[in-house]
Amino acid sequence: MKKPILFEDASMYYNKWVSGQAAREFSSQKVKFKDIIKQNSPYTDQTPNGAKAEPVMPYPIPNAVTALGEVSISLSNALNLFRASLKNPTVQEQPEVKSEVTTIINALAKANRELNNMYVEIQKRVVER
């Protein structure tokens, strides 16, 4: 069976001085590059029922989501350290220091909530696409 060839390659000529494969001549036939890709593509009948793949985030965003996860872990660790410092006798004896630590704990907790909300919002937007 003859394989279709590109139009540019169809203008072969016969050389009587050459034998073997070099002497073969294909019949001219117009074939578009798109037809060859469709013919040789392993993905032509991949989804006969028209099923779609799961939504995927564009390239740099998965790395950003990973970075947000690392920030969330670091923020939680810092929050736990400040909460543990409230049990320190030195902090408990000084009301000014205790109020400052409590203020820092509240700020870190609020930042952690905002970060978690942002992560949930990013996931929702990707799923909606």
Q: 69 and 110: one domain? A: yes
Our count of domains for the chain comes to: 2
Verify that 32 and 82 share a domain, yes or no.
no
Mean pLDDT by 10 residues, the chain (129 residues): 58 56 60 66 54 70 83 94 95 94 96 89 71
State which residues form the domain around 25: 7-40
Helix axes 95-128, 60-85, angle to 10 degrees: 160
Q: pLDDT of 75-111, one tens digit each?
A: 999 999 999 999 999 999 999 999 999 999 999 999 9
Alpha carbons 74 and 122: distance in angstroms, whole number: 20
